[in-house]
Amino acid sequence: MQVFLIRHTRPQLAAGICYGQLDVACEDPLPVARQLRVQIPCDTPIFCSPLKRARVLAEALGKPYGVTPCIDARLSEISFGAWEGKPWEDIDRAALDMWAADVLHFVPPGGESVAQLRARVIAFAETLRLPRVAIVAHAGVMKTLCGYWQKLPSEAWSQLEFSFGGLVEITV
């Protein structure tokens, strides 16, 4: 399977804010969509997160070709719960230290763990039975998918970086 993993454009949010599943606006997706379209075959099915910053880019990618993105909640970014919308520097230091001590299993108040994110993203990945697909999502989702498909240990996939509006092509 040929997979085009695409990260949403930059959120319109002050630097240093924890945003996870906070549904924030993003930079104009049209210039990014125009650049990405030439790299993706026009009949490629598109899946995306329901969060606005991913959905608007997915819609902009598909619209000229009559491709409507399939929205899947399993592609949402990790939920940081009560931390969302707060500057990272205002989040309780002891809680951040507990998270750093067990990144995979720590659950922020009202949020989800990386292990929970990983479980739902892998559940999505295991349903794909297409020769080619584009997925417009978030860094956490993209890290998880790359780690899963490339069989990377958590220490490796958690360190992957993806630029806003960037595309990574992998073969599964």
Query: What's the confidence (pLDDT) of residue 3?
Result: 98
Computed over its alpha carbons, how large is the radius of gyration of the chain?
16
Per-residue pLDDT at 85: 96
Provide the domain count of the chain: 1
Whether this model's pTM surpasses 0.85: yes
Q: Provide the b/e sequence for 120-152 (b: ≥16 CB within 10 Å).
A: bbeebbeeeeeeebbbbbbbbbbbbbbbbbeee
Running along the chain, 172 residues long, what does each successive block of 10 average in pLDDT? 97 94 95 96 96 97 96 98 96 95 95 97 97 97 96 87 96 94
Strands 167-171 and 2-7: antiparallel
pLDDT at 157: 84
Q: How far is CA 32 from the centre of its chain?
A: 16
For residue 146, give its domain range.
2-171
At 17 the pLDDT is 96
| pLDDT attached to residue 45 | 97
| Residue (of 80, 94, 34) closest to 61 by Cα position | 34
CATH number at residue 39: 3.40.50.1240
56 phi and psi, to 5 degrees? -65, -35
